[in-house]
Structure 1
Amino acid sequence: MNKSIKFLKLTLVLVASLAITSCVQDDDYTVPSSLGQEENLALQALLADPTANEVSFADVKGMYTEGEFIDPVDTNIYVKGYVSSSDFTGNFFKEFYIQDSPSNPTSGLKIILNQVDTYNQFNIGREVYVNLKNLYIGEERVGNGVITIGGGTETDQYGTTVTSLNDIQVASGVLRSTETSEMTPLTVTFSEISNSHVGVLVTVDNVEFTDNLNGLRYFDPIQQYDTQRTLQSCGGFNYTEFQLETSAFSSFKYELLPTGNGSITAVVSKTFDGASLILALNTTADVNMNGERCSLLDIGDFDTIFEEDFEGMPTGSAISSNGWTSFAEVGTYNWRALSTTDSGNPGPGNTIASMGAYNSSTDVNIAWLISPVLDLDAQGLEFLNFQSSNSFSDNSELEVLISTDWDGTTANIATATWTALPAAVVGDDENYQEWFDSGLVNLSSYSGSAYIAFKYIGGFPSSGDIDGTFEIDNYKILAEN
């Protein structure tokens, strides 16, 4: 009898033990449908605190200056974002990105934490509030340019970096709401991706892996940590390339690369050293390349339907010849035709269009140079091409824009709709004697009457270097014959 009772008790203990274990099994990766009571209370308290203020992603990034000591945030502030990355496939490790909006995002931030399998807590699209007080804003690796939220700092011979949030900091500072938003990837081209997109979920269309990767897999087994595979996009007459990086720990690393053309949705990130921008997949379900591979256009099938070399224009005064419009929106300095002394393009004495703010005595200078009207319905495909140079550009800016609703009057330039074109423009660090080709900029997505604008933004403040000069020459419009 005693043996039977003992056996019964042992059986009940085992059953209870199994029941408890089944509630916390490690392979339950479903997204939580509700929040824990403590997390609910912590978020409610944060949002109800009249002394707590929400700050923008730009505010957070502005708290860090490379080379300066990193202090903990000492004000009662928080930032809200939406999770854009997932470690479900192992391609991200002890980190996740948030972006400032589930659609049309403008910025991203990185969060590093001493935690794996975060995807079943911080799932893609989850609205997250980060209580920044006593946390640290900086870089995870010196000079990589990825602004990161961490839980501490460490310093070595290269500088000070932020370290991972510990479990307590995550529980008290990284607070989920009950909302999970549908993420709408930002549609971009390879040439449009910049540092401002780091941490943002993007989609790139009309892409494919390069021909030499046929039959290869996402990860190269001879690599130790990461493998980069080259993506290419048909840009008319040339390919534009970008790197997709895959971790050695990803679950999809041995999948074959697709051989067709299509789209890819991924998170913009950086290489370990921060030297280059790359794309990183959340899952290969976001790679849809089942279409026919693209073919480049033949330059022989195109004619130059308009060109401007600015030769013959009166030098030293605002450009107003041959249908061009120059307009000083802010300040009095304007685009002028000048005779260049550069050794190139094609040499000294060549006339170019030039705008610079040096000695303008104005904190802000904004000046427009706008092309003659272009009828985009009169022919097939059209491409823009030009050359640019600088003279100590000193952080001034040159934007290349297109409008199909400007009425041709200077009074309405600022109120018209202007869209940025993905043209290559000379950089700050280039020699002032050099001229750089814009590449062939596809205009086929636009129709009707259009204008191309070169918008200069600079100034001559008492402090700051934004007074440089930009120069334009050999402007052309090519159309399919």
Structure 2
Amino acid sequence: MKTNRLKNVILIKVIVLITISCIQDDNFNIPDLIFEEPIINGNVITIDAIAGMLAQAQNNGDDTFTFEDTNTYISGYVISSDEAGNFFEELIIQDVLENPTRGIKLLIDINPLFARYEIGRKLFVKLDGLTIGTTNGVFTIGVRDGNTIGQIAASLENEVIQRSTERGELVPLTIELDRLNNNLTNLYVTLQNAQFNRSEVLDLNPLTYASEPTDQFDGERVLESCNSNLPIVFSTSTFADFRGLELPAQSGTINGVLTKNFFGDTFNFVVNTPSDVNFENPERCDSIEIDCGLTDTQGTVNLFEDNFENQRTRQRISGNGWTNFIQEGTEAFEAFRSSGASPSLGISARIGSRNSGDVSSIAWLITPRIDLDAQDGETLRFMTSNSFANESNLELLFSTDWDGIEASITNATWINLPSAFIVGDNDFFGDWFDSGVVNLSCIEGMAYIAFRYTGNGDSAFNGIYELDEIIINSL
């Protein structure tokens, strides 16, 4: 009996030794998951084709369109990733890898998605039972939820989405901010020669992507094109892994998804990860600055003054040597009077692009020429208010080489005077704010002083500014 037990023990040891000897090394790599190209038993149509179906339905008074027993699929390539937390329970897909023409947002109750649906992965989406429409301003597919579009249930994932073996490299579509339209949403795009607004990255405390005390749900920053001088909202989720990183102060190229905000009325630029922000050029395209600072001394010799009381309300500011010039868009500085929640100071000047429909609104209000060599201690003082400035901008500039002709305004050198306080969006809209006594004594020659408004018809950039009690004095 003992002999048999001994033989069994020896036999087991021999088997173990033989098994171990068959192992070539100790590299236990996880094997690659192998899957086959799905067999699509149905017709495959384009994203653009179903966009046309939705347009037909909307022309007939319907907000959505639902597919019933069509045995039809769409195909597309994934352009979004939730790996860094900047997308959540959605896939953005576009029709082709390069030069795309149409994209769509797919809502699904699954998180995370990036491991199965990587960027550049081709997908097939079965349309039966799904509904298309416009959600948050962009073309969307999901399931009908009352009058809206809801998420596809996780249990239906494998029935609805077929993952192709094909995965390619996305080539971002180059866009310019003066040519944006709704058909470009849900596409992987690139903005070249861009930067973040100077107020967000050049101050002593640069802003982060989305971890400021005022950031709720999303951090919204101002991304600027140096080519068109137009802005766009750069949006980052407050749940993104990189929300605490500081925005880069340099300029360069940025790749991401063009989408819209929650309300669907403002274009947004969204990146998958901060590595999509390739800002490595130390040169920026900001206006030149000369900062003479503020002073406590305001002279008594008046060089120029206007409180706009002689203007006609609802008419363009004119007379008294003013140049009121529209560089882009349809909006000019106008006189207004108000006694409401945002009162004027009698008659004041106002500029804004709300309800303008302008792709870009740039307007100038320029003083007559002032000789800054004829006396000493020149200063400027004025008052500003706003009616929700949003991300529109009012700047104080001067030029010593403008010839006084409107056609050459944009060819002249305009230099920013940053020390003046100009009301911001966070300031109470019912109050008026003093600029401080702006020192002009470091400027030499014949100079024009200008107020330049920059905005557009987009709700994020259509703010209104009010201006009054402008006075230039010397000692």
TM range (shorter): 0.5 to 0.7
Aligned residue number for residue 247 of structure 1: 237
Aligned residue number for residue 95 of structure 1: 90
Structure 1: state its 5+ residue gaps. Answer: 1-27, 299-342, 347-384, 390-426, 440-473
Counterpart-to-counterpart distance in 2, 1:182 and 1:72: 31
Is residue 2:259 matched to residue 1:269? yes
Aligned residue number for residue 216 of structure 2: 224
CA RMSD of aligned residues (A): 4.1
Counterpart-to-counterpart distance in 2, 1:281 and 1:102: 17
Aligned residue number for residue 128 of structure 2: 133
Counterpart-to-counterpart distance in 1, 2:361 and 2:154: 52
Contact 1:57–1:109 (8 Å) recurs in 2: no
**How far apart are residue 386 of structure 1 and its match?**
8.0
Is residue 2:79 matched to residue 1:84? yes
SS at match of 1:273: coil
Counterpart-to-counterpart distance in 1, 2:284 and 2:48: 38
Contact 2:198–2:286 (8 Å) recurs in 1: no
Counterpart-to-counterpart distance in 2, 1:198 and 1:73: 26
Aligned residue number for residue 272 of structure 2: 282
Aligned residue number for residue 109 of structure 1: 104
**How far apart are residue 292 of structure 1 and its match?**
2.1
Contact 1:86–1:118 (8 Å) recurs in 2: yes
Alignment of 1:3-402 (within 5 A): 33-35=33-35, 40=37, 43-46=38-41, 49=42, 52-60=43-51, 62-63=53-54, 65=58, 67-68=62-63, 70-140=65-135, 144-150=136-142, 152-155=143-146, 160-214=147-201, 215-222=206-213, 223-235=215-227, 239-295=229-285
Structure 2: state its 5+ residue gaps. Answer: 1-29, 289-314, 319-326, 332-352, 364-405, 414-475
Contact 2:84–2:272 (8 Å) recurs in 1: yes
Pair 68,283 (structure 1): closer, same or farther in 2 beyond 3 Å: closer
Q: Deviations over 1:224-264 (max 9, x none)?
A: 3111011112247xx31111101111000001111111111
Contact 2:137–2:261 (8 Å) recurs in 1: no
Aligned length: 289
**How far apart are residue 288 of structure 1 and its match?**
1.1
Decide which structure has the larger Cα Rg and report it.
2
**Residue type matched to 1:34 in 2?**
I
Counterpart-to-counterpart distance in 2, 1:61 and 1:115: 28
**TM-score, normalised via structure 1 length:** 0.52
**How far apart are residue 98 of structure 1 and its match?**
0.4
**How far apart are residue 272 of structure 1 and its match?**
1.1
**How far apart are residue 125 of structure 1 and its match?**
0.5
Q: Deviations over 1:113-169 (max 9, x none)?
A: 0101111111101111111122221234xxx3322111x2222xxxx1111111232
**Residue type matched to 1:54 in 2?**
I
Counterpart-to-counterpart distance in 2, 1:276 and 1:437: 15
Pair 183,75 (structure 1): closer, same or farther in 2 beyond 3 Å: same
Deviates more, 1:126-135 or 1:87-96: 126-135
**Residue type matched to 2:247 in 1?**
L
Contact 2:47–2:103 (8 Å) recurs in 1: no
**How far apart are residue 194 of structure 1 and its match?**
2.1
Contact 1:88–1:119 (8 Å) recurs in 2: yes
Counterpart-to-counterpart distance in 1, 2:247 and 2:33: 35
Q: Deviations over 1:168-215 (max 9, x none)?
A: 322012111100011000111222232111111111111111111122
Aligned residue number for residue 454 of structure 1: none
Counterpart-to-counterpart distance in 1, 2:63 and 2:133: 10
